[in-house]
Amino acid sequence: MRVLLADNVSRQCDAVLNTHGIETVRAGGISRQELIAMLPDYEGLIVRSAVMVDREMIEAMPRMLAIGRAGAGVDNIDVVAATERGILVMNTPGGNTISAAEHTLAMLMALLRKIPAANASIRQGQWDRKTFVGTELFGKRVGVLGLGRIGREVAARIASFQAQIVGYDPVLSPEAIRALGIESTTFEEMVESCQIITIHIPLMASTRGLIGTAELARMPHGAFIINCARGGIVDEAALLEALNSGQIAGAALDVFSSEPPTFPVALMEHPNVVATPHIAASTHEAQERVAVDIAVQMSEFFEGRGARGVVNAHGMEDCLMSAARPMMRATRLLGNLLAQLGGPNANHFNLIAHGPDATQIMQGLEAALLAGVLCQRQNGAVNEINAARIAASAGITVEAVGEGEHPRYQTLIAAEVVASQQHGSQSHHAAVTLFGRDDVRLVMFDNLWLDVALSGVLLLLRGADRPGVLAAMGGVLAQQNINISDVSLGRCQDSGDALTVIRIDGDISPEALDALRNLPVVQTVKVVRMG
């Protein structure tokens, strides 16, 4: 494996990856076109925030398996494009938590006590105590907008100043917020009642411009805003207007909608603004921590020990562990089989997984089934990372459930392709199990038990259950110079029919298929090619 380090991350990142036998190459500071030219040769990419990993760049990554962000935010990575290409995106959300929380407190106190302006004044030989009268944090109502890792650490530190802390997070229930020891509130109530709001939510479509003209006007007169999260959450033009009018007494900003900022510098030069150049996570400790964290996470992923910090495959972290991969592979083969038998218009599948760990990896098994189905219908790479997205756009659905051990097998993965008579699709039900780690066996088809390796070319022949049938089938194949490598029989006692599954060496010609279909003892013949 080879990993390209496109940003200036700590040398500890190389050391960790190299210890795990992963080659690293540094490409910090090169041009965008030079970087794009290098990408086809690597399975891993690690960036910080300087490199913009957009769709054009991602489309130049034919071998890429994982993109790692040495930090929390991934707004410099086109996660949608990476997911479409089946590339795992991971970050290190905890590595810079303490640094970001401490910087937020530093910005807050610098703003309230006017420290930067006072420092600039004294450096100019002035001794102006009256101009720099500050504001206490003690007793203030402080709203913490976003209660992830950083928001929680900020709240804990503000609590030591004996301020009144209230919190809101769009993904946490009021009960979950109260369980953190923080008073829960709504976004609207926070805006209208808090004298200080500190922002700790990600930038996305729903949060862009979240605090704009209307919200600033509803805040208590003389309120303060601190944003060390992401630029764009606060409407900068509206904030400048509110600062000029005195509605907002001050703002502390570490992030901007464009970095470096391209808008007029009036906001950053405002006397009631404290600004820093996106350095909340820029401590020696944090930079080394996130570099080591992303190296460890990428090493674990490449070695099949799972995935942590996953951005675009939530719920599948355990499925990417080597222990789960045999079941994932078996399920993918099962999806491949049923997609061939159900036809190109069969778009609904049912999945039942039996096994001691099945319920923990159902999301991964569902993705594996879809990947098996889609590889029959899609050009380009399909894997467990992008299967759900591609299936949704194609109208393919899966109903999945995990069960305990099966009476017959400790691990059994069963699935059904549901008929769509309008388009000529057919219903079939099949099940697979694992012998050891790598031997995937087809053990049931259309409610008949059998046992045959699920690989190569399989012939599924339905016909009479009487002496001479298997010999007649074998005779046709012998005449066509086709060798049989495996065979299994599933008997239907009620009807007197049987299902014969024959695995052959090589492929079968149309002429040989016609000969099998013309046998009086054969009712149907189906062929599946398992790649």
User: Element (H or E) spanning 249, and its range?
Assistant: strand 248-253
Query: Given the DSSP bridges, would you call strands 439-445 and 448-453 parallel, antiparallel or unpaired?
Result: antiparallel
Find the catalytic residue in 230, 354, 428, 429.
230
- How far are the Cα atoms of 108, 170, 229, 275 from residue 215, in angstroms, in the given order? 20, 17, 18, 21
Query: Given the DSSP bridges, would you call strands 497-504 and 448-453 parallel, antiparallel or unpaired?
Result: unpaired
Q: How far apart are CA 404 and CA 295, in angstroms?
A: 36
Region of 298 on the Ramachandran plot (φ > 0 left; ψ -120 to 50 alpha; else beta): alpha
Burial letters 264-273, b for 16+ CB under 10 A, else e: eeebbebebb
Beta bridge partners of 486: 503
Find the catalytic residue in 270, 278, 325, 491.
278
Burial letters 474-489, b for 16+ CB under 10 A, else e: eebbeeeebeeebbbb
> What are phi and psi for residue 284, nearest 5 degrees?
-55, -40
Our answer to whether residue 48 is catalytic in this structure is: no
Q: Reduced to 3 states, what is the DSSP secondary structure of residue 499?
A: strand
Find the catalytic residue in 259, 285, 399, 403.
259
Residue labelled with tokens 């065979």: 487
Residue 133, class by beta-carbon neighbours within 10 Å (0-12 exposed, 13-18 middle, 19+ buried)? exposed
- Give yes or no for a contact between 215 and 189, defined as CB atoms under 8 angstroms apart: no
Q: How far apart are CA 348 and CA 342, in angstroms?
A: 10
Our answer to whether residue 423 is catalytic in this structure is: no
Quick one: DSSP state of residue 220?
P
Our answer to whether residue 153 is catalytic in this structure is: no
In this structure, is the dihedral angle defined by the CA atoms of residues 396, 397, 402 and 406, taken in order, positive or negative? negative
- 486 is written with which tokens? 């495996």
Query: Helices (DSSP H) in 383-509: which residue ranges?
Result: 387-394, 469-479
Q: Which long-range contacts (CB under 8 A, 24 or more apart) does 510-519 make?
A: 511/480, 512/476, 512/477, 512/480, 512/482, 515/476, 515/479, 515/480, 516/459, 516/461, 516/473, 516/476, 516/477, 519/463, 519/472, 519/473, 519/476
Q: Which residues are catalytic?
A: 230, 259, 278
